[in-house]
C-alpha cells in the first residue's frame, strides 16, 4: 500500500480507491458525519477551482488527518460533478483534476511514474543508467496533445516502435490518460439522491454559474449554427474543445469540416474555438483554413458515421434514435431542422 500522503495527492489511482473501500466508509457517513466536514468542503473547493482556474487546487497536507480529508474529498467532488450533470462542466472538472495531477507528477521520481503508467496500461521502457524513457508509439498517439508542434510525430524520433520522451512528457501523457479516466467515471455514474440533497444549494449555485458561462459562449454570433441540433458526436467534440481538452486531430478535423459544410464562415468557426482557455488564434486559423480549403487545394468533407466510429469519435453510449436512422452527422443535423419545421 502506498503512503497515505501519496494517495491524497493522487486520489483517482486504484490504491486510493482501495483505501476508501478497505476502510468501509459509507456514503452516508461521508455526507453526514461532522468528522468529514472538512472533506466535504475540500470536495466543493476542487469543483469550484477546477471550473474557475482549470486546476483542482493545492492544499497543504501536514498530517494523516489532512491526507485522509484530501483523499475523501475526491469521491465527494466526483459525486457532486455527476449531479451538476452538464457535459461541458464535467469536462472542465476532469481537466482541472488532471492538470493538478500533472503539476504534482512532474516532481515525482521515475519509479512512481513507471508505476502509474502501468496502471494506465501505458507501455514505457526506462533505461535507468542512461536515464532514457521510451514509449510505444500507439500509447504516444493515444495521449499526446499532437495539436502542438513539439508533439507531432514528425518532430519525434521513432525506433522499433518506440519514441524517446522526457520525464515531463511522460507526466503530460499520464495527465491525458487520467483525464480520460475521470471523464469515463463521470459519464458512467448517476446522480445519487443523498448527494443531491446534501449539496443542493451548491449544486444549484454551480449549475447557474455554468449556465451563465454557457450563455456567454453561445451568445457568440455563429452564423446558422444551432448547437441544440448538433449530433452527439459533434456536440461532444465542441464541448471538449471549448473546455480546453486535448482533442485528437480526427476530432478537430471532423468538427471543422462539419461546420464548414453547414456554411459557417472561418471567422465564425474561430469564434467557437476562441472560448477555449488555451486558444491561439494564429495556429487555429491556419488549421481551420487548411481544412476549409481557404489555404489548400481541397475543401475537405466531414466524415460519415462509419468513419467517425473507426476514428473512435462516435460516442456510442450517447447515440439516439435519429443517429440510428442516419449515416452521416450532416444528415442528423438536417433531419433535426426538418423535425422543427414539421412542428411549426
Q: Do 173 and 5 meet the contact criterion of CB atoms below 8 Å apart? A: no
Report the residue from 31, 124, 144, 323 that binds ligand SF4 according to the rule CB under 6 A.
Answer: 323
Report d(CA 251, CA 240) in Å as an integer.
Answer: 10
The three-state secondary structure class of 126 is: strand
The residue (of 37 and 320) whose beta carbon lies closer to ligand SF4 is: 320
Report the residue from 42, 79, 82, 308 that binds ligand SF4 according to the rule CB under 6 A.
Answer: 308
Q: Is 305 in the site for ligand SF4 (CB under 6 A)?
A: yes
Residues in CB range of 37: below 8 A, 6 or more apart: none
Report d(CA 79, CA 192) in Å as an integer.
Answer: 7
Shortest Å, Cβ 339 to ligand SF4:
15
Shortest Å, Cβ 260 to ligand SF4:
17
The residue (of 73 and 260) whose beta carbon lies closer to ligand SF4 is: 260
Q: Do 89 and 81 meet the contact criterion of CB atoms below 8 Å apart? A: yes
Q: Do 162 and 136 meet the contact criterion of CB atoms below 8 Å apart? A: yes
The residue (of 2 and 227) whose beta carbon lies closer to ligand SF4 is: 227
How far is C-alpha 145 from the geometric centre of its chain's CA atoms? 12
Shortest Å, Cβ 90 to ligand SF4:
18
Q: Which positions from 215 to 234 touch ligand SF4 by CB under 6 A, shown as an x/- string?
A: ----------------xxx-
Cell numbers at 59, concatenated: 492544499
The residue (of 85 and 315) whose beta carbon lies closer to ligand SF4 is: 315
Shortest Å, Cβ 323 to ligand SF4:
3
Cell numbers at 251, concatenated: 476530432
Q: Is 80 in the site for ligand SF4 (CB under 6 A)?
A: no
Q: Is 319 in the site for ligand SF4 (CB under 6 A)?
A: yes
The residue (of 122 and 237) whose beta carbon lies closer to ligand SF4 is: 237
The residue (of 7 and 237) whose beta carbon lies closer to ligand SF4 is: 237
Q: Do 136 and 123 meet the contact criterion of CB atoms below 8 Å apart? A: yes
CA torsion angle 309 312 315 316 (round to 10): 50
Binding site for ligand SF4 (CB under 6 A): 231-233, 305, 308, 314-315, 319, 323, 329, 332
Amino acid at each position: 500500500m502506498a503512503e497515505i500522503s501519496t494517495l491524497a495527492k493522487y486520489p483517482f489511482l486504484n490504491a486510493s480507491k482501495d483505501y476508501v473501500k478497505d476502510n468501509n466508509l459509507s456514503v452516508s457517513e461521508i455526507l453526514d458525519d461532522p468528522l468529514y466536514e472538512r472533506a466535504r468542503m475540500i470536495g466543493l473547493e476542487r469543483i469550484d477551482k477546477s471550473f474557475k482556474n482549470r486546476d483542482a487546487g493545492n492544499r497543504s497536507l501536514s498530517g494523516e488527518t489532512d491526507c485522509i480529508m484530501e483523499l475523501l474529498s475526491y469521491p465527494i467532488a466526483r459525486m457532486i460533478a455527476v449531479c451538476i450533470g452538464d457535459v461541458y462542466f464535467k469536462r472542465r472538472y476532469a481537466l482541472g483534476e488532471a492538470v493538478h495531477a500533472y503539476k504534482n507528477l512532474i516532481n515525482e521520481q521515475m519509479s512512481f511514474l513507471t508505476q502509474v503508467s502501468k496502471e494506465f496500461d501505458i507501455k514505457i521502457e526506462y533505461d535507468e543508467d542512461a536515464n532514457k524513457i521510451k514509449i510505444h508509439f500507439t500509447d504516444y498517439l493515444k495521449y499526446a496533445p499532437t495539436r502542438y508542434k513539439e508533439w507531432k510525430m514528425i518532430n519525434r524520433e521513432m525506433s522499433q516502435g518506440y519514441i524517446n520522451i522526457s520525464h515531463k512528457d511522460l507526466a503530460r501523457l499520464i495527465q491525458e490518460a487520467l483525464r480520460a479516466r475521470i471523464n469515463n467515471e463521470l459519464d458512467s455514474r448517476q446522480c445519487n439522491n443523498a448527494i443531491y440533497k446534501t449539496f443542493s444549494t451548491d449544486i444549484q449555485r454551480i449549475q447557474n454559474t455554468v449556465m451563465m458561462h454557457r450563455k456567454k459562449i453561445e451568445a457568440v454570433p455563429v452564423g446558422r449554427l444551432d448547437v441544440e441540433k448538433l449530433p452527439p458526436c459533434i456536440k461532444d467534440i465542441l464541448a471538449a474543445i471549448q473546455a480546453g481538452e486535448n482533442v485528437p486531430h480526427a476530432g478537430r478535423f471532423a468538427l471543422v469540416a462539419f461546420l464548414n459544410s453547414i456554411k459557417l464562415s472561418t471567422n465564425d468557426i474561430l469564434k467557437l474555438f476562441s472560448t477555449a482557455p488555451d486558444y491561439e488564434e494564429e495556429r487555429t486559423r491556419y488549421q481551420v483554413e487548411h481544412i476549409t480549403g481557404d489555404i489548400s487545394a481541397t475543401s475537405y468533407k466531414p466524415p460519415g458515421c462509419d468513419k467517425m466510429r473507426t476514428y473512435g469519435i462516435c460516442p456510442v453510449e450517447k447515440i439516439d434514435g435519429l443517429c440510428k436512422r442516419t449515416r452521416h452527422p450532416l444528415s442528423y443535423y438536417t433531419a433535426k431542422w426538418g423535425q422543427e419545421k414539421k412542428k411549426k
